[in-house]
Structure 1
């Protein structure tokens, strides 16, 4: 009998606790309960397209201050002009060491980005040419549209051309990072000797 009354008391306690939890949990439908770190839910930062009273013009998205350079950005201070091309020819040199690794990576990059037009050996016989597009000049035998033999192109001239493009060749600055351009140039110098 005593055991039965203990079971009854225990059962009533469990039912009462469950009813209390259920009653308090359903009280406010919008409540998410306690917040451990409320600043994670109520962020105070402005979205880029929101008005922002902290700036004179009221815009959140601000232009960077004049003269700043993005992290990881490499400046190339030669304009996309004939004078810039000629100046780059004399002043710009490949900053990377001529190593087997850099050369091998340059070859792979050339095959992926340049060979569709220039061909695997730089003779201007890529797949694009086979489909009727004009052929670029051969690196070893051709003449540059800017004057001089292609085999005599310097680091600076090639880097300028890859960065800005020339004639039918567009800029590869968005496809090849500066160090990748230098690796390609190492391989192009090899193709100039073929």
Structure 2
């Protein structure tokens, strides 16, 4: 008799527990139709900060993504305004700026790696104007650094730090600007390596 009562109590307790879980589930799911219930780390889904495209009551114009103040330079960028993208700016850059980095083996190796990745497809691994893009036959070859002549006049082996930097910054002819692909320090390392390619091969 006692054993039957214990078995009935266990059954009742188990049944009651199942009913309570079911009721809790139903009640929690009916609270908010859009709610997904409990979430792990909800701030990962609903960030505290405003998204750039959200309205923002903090600023007068209500825009989160504000334009930088006039005259400021974003972090990681270097202004090059004193040498504009004009023939005069190119000439001024020729004598106005020089490579601030020391010529070291480490800088030359890094410059070579950057050159091969960024410049080599057109200028070729040795700067002879025979890169993979040129070999396809769809684009004219750029002049050789050691023997060619610049389209702006003068020999390629006479290009100064400033002239090469100006060309990397703004591009020339079919060559586009590499200002977004190469940081100022990386450009100086590339220029350092280009000077090696200007020497007779």
**Higher mean C-alpha displacement, 25-34 vs 141-150:** 25-34
Check whether the contact 2:29–2:37 (CA below 8 A) recurs between aligned residues: no
Number of residues paired by the alignment?
Answer: 194
1:81-120 superposed matches below 5 A: 81-120=86-125
The verdict on how the C-alpha distance between 1:161 and 1:41 changes in structure 2, with shifts beyond 3 A counting, is closer
- Gaps of at least 5 residues in structure 1 are none
Cα distance in 2 for partners of 1:158, 1:38 equals: 51
| 2:151 is the counterpart of 1:151 | no
* Equivalent position to 1:162, from 164, 168, 171: 168
* Equivalent position to 1:190, from 182, 187, 196: 196
1:1-194 superposed matches below 5 A: 1-31=1-31, 45-77=49-81, 78-130=83-135, 131-194=137-200
TM-score normalized with structure 2 length: 0.80
Task: Specify the SS of the correspondent of 2:29.
Answer: coil
**Higher mean C-alpha displacement, 101-110 vs 125-134:** 125-134
When the two chains are superposed, the root-mean-square deviation of aligned CA atoms in Å is: 2.7
Check whether the contact 2:77–2:183 (CA below 8 A) recurs between aligned residues: no
Deviations 1:127-177 (A, max 9, x none): 343415322222112222223221111111111111111122221122222
Cα distance in 2 for partners of 1:143, 1:122 equals: 13
**Divergent runs of 4+, >6 A:** 34-41
